[in-house]
């Protein structure tokens, strides 16, 4: 039964459907949740879904890890290293923005005691 | 080598600041300003060499590459100049009302400069994303710097919209990589037009949403006025002088490369025109000066967006003129507002009625007239060129919208000018110190110089417009390495 899931096409479908589901879970949370921390969580979920989609679609099972050794001198039959580097960078940036956002939310809560996005309206006129 | 210096030096300064702070706060402030002055001189020294093209590639076509050509040199010079003017103003401002944890403030300023320049120079879509985020992060922190409830509220709104924007941009980049297999702008540009229509439209929409938040285009600009109101007027001068302009250039630079035939140009033109008219209408009923100028920024940025979207040389030249005029005028206005706020502790629209500062009054009026596009001021020639370009293309609805928007702009600017010259009780006189007088005089002199003798710069801007629109030679240059 598991061999069925090991086929490259099936893996691609699972990755696409799964990560897009996750993306819409995040989008749903972003649109419906009122608590600031939950909104930041939804944004993080959307980001992670995209990272999973990219890494999952670009990964080839039969290919090698992109590391040059004594036996392996050229980039033949290797996985593409660019997406991995790119996603690592994007994860770091996403983490930094998330931490900054949560710290803003905490500071704001300390000052005003509000966490509900609908109550944060002092600047609207 | 110099194109890397523009990015590397401010970033290195940021990393070295903890060491520099051993010499005290003054040391950091003066080194930061000296560094920015050095970059400004470097940029000016490059303007002379023509035609200036420099490509730095690390392991092409895979690696990082920066392109410094005429148009990016224009933006680099503009940004460093804005930052120098800001820094010199702040050097004098900090004597009486310094920001808390000043070393952090200088790190953020230099990060903002480095990332704005990086957005303009990089010719690699992932680097564009990285600089997009660095500029965003430094702008979020600068917004919330004072840590008052309204500053934090503005920071949270800015950060949320910014991270949603970055999600859409990442999505677009991922789809581009999956379909084309490269991150280099030139290689993507070669293959982009041959992609299936659905994928092309989908990527373009994601891209437009991602950048749309940052270039403040309707309906993705709801956060702008709140951010301007929540943060300080001092920092706002950077937002409308540097940050938006960097995003605008990056967006249209990529658009011209990917879609040289202008497939979505009509749609973008009308999008810009709608944002312009809405921004000017909403600006009419604002009662806070920071909000008024936030909406006026939105209107001007939308005008620049409309002009860029036309994809013609005249319109781009006009847009570059407006960018120059708007940046200078807005930095003047927001720095003047900073001085007013420091003295009167309020930026309500009525504070202008009691304003007692003849020098600041003149400076603000000149900046406003330039924003309006009155002849003999810097804003005129840009608006004129844009109107001419639309008339040549015979897109008359846009002409009408631009003129109506200018009239609406005139209504609230003349209201403000009227307030300033109203007879009545005045508050205590504001003392403007020598450094501030020097900066304001220099900037207003530039407004008048560009307004009265536009030919000193129009040739350079025409060349820049040509370079910006010429995607074919950009691609050829970059692929060759």
Q: Which of B118-122, B399-403, B454-458 has the lowest mean pLDDT?
A: B454-458
Q: How much is the average pLDDT of B269-298?
A: 90
Question: Which of A15, A123, A125 to mutate: most B Cβ within 10 Å?
Answer: A123
Residue entry with tokens 């804003």: B379
CA end-to-end span of chain B: 15
Chain B contact present for A39, CB below 8 A:
yes
Q: How much is the average pLDDT of B452-462?
A: 85
Q: Please give the Cα distance from B237 to B226 (Å, whole number).
A: 15
- What's the pLDDT at B28? 82
Chain A / chain B CB contacts < 8 angstroms:
96
Write out chain B residues lying below 8 Å of A25, CB-based: none
Strand partners for B184: B124
Domain ranges across chain B: 2-480
Chain A contact present for B126, CB below 8 A:
yes
pLDDT at B62 over 60: no
CA distances from B298 to B195, B212, B222, B438, B467 (A): 34, 12, 10, 29, 26
Query: Given an 8 Å threshold on Cβ–Cβ distance, is B144 in contact with A104?
Result: yes
Taking only the tens place, the pLDDT of each residue in B5-40 is 888 888 888 888 888 877 777 788 888 888 888 888
Residue B188's pLDDT band, with cuts at 50, 70 and 90, is: confident
Write out chain B residues lying below 8 Å of A105, CB-based: 156
Q: Please give the Cα distance from B268 to B263 (Å, whole number).
A: 10
- What's the pLDDT at B59? 58
Q: What is the DSSP string of A100-122?
A: HHHHHHHHHHHHH---BGGG--T
Tokens of B444: 């207003």
Residue entry with tokens 């949560």: A102
Q: How much is the average pLDDT of B84-92?
A: 90
Q: How much is the average pLDDT of A12-39?
A: 92
Strand partners for B68: B54
Phi/psi region, residue B345 (left: phi>0; alpha: psi -120 to 50; beta: rest), is: left
Taking only the tens place, the pLDDT of each residue in B302-339 is 999 999 998 888 899 999 999 999 999 999 999 999 98
- What's the pLDDT at B14? 84
The shortest CB-CB distance from B164 to any of A43, A57, A108 is to A43
Write out chain A residues lying below 8 Å of B226, CB-based: 123-124
- What's the pLDDT at B79? 93
Taking only the tens place, the pLDDT of each residue in B340-384 is 888 888 888 888 888 788 888 889 999 999 988 888 888 888 899
- What's the pLDDT at B334? 92
8 Å CB contact between B28 and B153? no
Residue B427 burial class via C-beta count within 10 angstroms: exposed 0-12, middle 13-18, buried 19 and up: middle
Residue B13, classed as helix, strand or coil, is helix
8 Å CB contact between B140 and B162? yes
Write out chain A residues lying below 8 Å of B171, CB-based: 50
The shortest CB-CB distance from A100 to any of B159, B229, B288 is to B159
- What's the pLDDT at B206? 92
Task: Output b/e per residue, A57-83; b: 16+ Cβ within 10 A.
Answer: bbbeeeeeeeeeeeeeeeeeeebeebb
pLDDT at B57 over 80: no
Residue B114 burial class via C-beta count within 10 angstroms: exposed 0-12, middle 13-18, buried 19 and up: buried
Query: Given an 8 Å threshold on Cβ–Cβ distance, is B174 in contact with A96?
Result: no
ipTM: 0.92
Domains of chain A: 2-60+78-119 (1.10.287.3510)
Chain A contact present for B62, CB below 8 A:
yes
pLDDT at A123 over 80: no
Taking only the tens place, the pLDDT of each residue in B130-187 is 999 999 999 999 999 988 888 999 999 999 999 999 999 999 999 999 888 888 888 8
Residue A50's pLDDT band, with cuts at 50, 70 and 90, is: very high
Residue B405, classed as helix, strand or coil, is helix
Helix and strand element counts for chain A (H, E): 4, 0
Residue B260's pLDDT band, with cuts at 50, 70 and 90, is: confident
- What's the pLDDT at A72? 66
């Amino acid at each position: 039964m598991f061999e069925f899931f090991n086929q490259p096409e099936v893996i691609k479908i699972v990755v696409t459907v799964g990560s897009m589901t996750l993306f819409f879970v995040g989008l749903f949370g972003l649109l419906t949740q009122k608590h600031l921390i939950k909104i930041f969580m939804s944004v993080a979920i959307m980001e992670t879904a995209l990272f999973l989609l990219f890494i999952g679609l670009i990964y080839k099972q039969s290919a090698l890890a992109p590391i040059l050794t004594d036996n392996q001198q050229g980039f033949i039959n290797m996985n593409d290293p660019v997406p991995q580097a790119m996603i690592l960078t994007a994860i770091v940036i996403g983490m930094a923005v998330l931490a900054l956002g949560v710290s803003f939310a905490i500071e704001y809560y300390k000052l005003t005691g509000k966490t509900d996005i609908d109550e944060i309206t002092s600047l609207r006129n | 080598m110099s194109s890397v210096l523009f990015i590397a030096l401010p970033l290195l300064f940021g990393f070295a600041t903890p060491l520099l702070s051993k010499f005290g706060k003054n040391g950091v402030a003066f080194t930061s300003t000296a560094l920015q002055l050095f970059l400004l001189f470097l940029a000016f020294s490059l303007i002379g060499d023509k035609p200036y093209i420099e490509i730095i590639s690390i392991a092409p076509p895979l690696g990082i590459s920066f392109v410094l050509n005429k148009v990016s040199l224009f933006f680099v010079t503009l940004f460093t100049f804005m930052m120098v003017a800001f820094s010199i103003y702040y050097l004098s401002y900090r004597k009486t009302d310094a920001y808390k944890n000043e070393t952090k403030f200088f790190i953020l300023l230099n990060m903002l400069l480095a990332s704005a320049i990086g957005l303009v120079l990089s010719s690699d879509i992932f680097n564009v994303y990285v600089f997009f985020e660095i500029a965003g992060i430094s702008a979020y922190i600068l917004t919330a710097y004072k840590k008052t409830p309204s500053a934090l509220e503005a920071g949270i709104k800015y950060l949320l919209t910014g991270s949603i924007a970055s999600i859409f941009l990442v999505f677009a980049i991922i789809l581009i990589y999956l379909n084309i297999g490269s991150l280099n702008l030139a290689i993507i540009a070669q293959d982009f037009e041959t992609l299936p229509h659905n994928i092309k439209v989908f990527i373009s929409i994601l891209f437009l949403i991602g950048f749309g938040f940052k270039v403040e285009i309707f309906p993705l600009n709801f956060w702008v006025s709140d951010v301007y109101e929540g943060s300080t007027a001092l920092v706002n001068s950077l937002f409308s002088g540097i940050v938006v302009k960097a995003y605008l250039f990056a967006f249209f630079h990529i658009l011209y490369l990917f879609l040289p035939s202008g497939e979505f140009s009509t749609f973008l033109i009308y999008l810009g025109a709608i944002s312009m008219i809405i921004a000017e209408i909403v600006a009419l009923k604002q009662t806070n000066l920071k909000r008024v100028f936030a909406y006026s920024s939105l209107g001007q940025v939308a005008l620049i967006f409309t002009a860029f979207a036309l994809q013609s040389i005249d319109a781009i030249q006009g847009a570059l003129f407006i960018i120059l005029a708007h940046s200078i005028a807005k930095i003047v206005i927001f720095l003047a507002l900073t001085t007013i706020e420091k003295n009167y502790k309020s930026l309500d629209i009525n504070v202008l009625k009691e304003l007692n500062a003849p020098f600041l009054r003149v400076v603000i009026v000149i900046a406003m007239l330039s924003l309006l596009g009155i002849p003999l001021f810097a804003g005129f020639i840009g608006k004129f060129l844009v109107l001419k370009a639309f008339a040549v293309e015979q897109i008359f609805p846009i002409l009408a919208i631009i003129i109506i928007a200018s009239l609406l702009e005139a209504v609230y600017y003349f209201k403000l000018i009227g307030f300033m010259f109203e007879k009545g009780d005045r508050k205590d006189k504001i003392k403007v110190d020598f450094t501030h007088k020097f900066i304001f005089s220099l900037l207003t002199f530039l407004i008048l110089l560009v307004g009265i003798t536009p030919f000193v710069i129009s040739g350079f801007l025409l060349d820049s417009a040509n370079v910006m629109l010429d995607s074919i030679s950009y691609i050829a240059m970059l692929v060759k390495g």
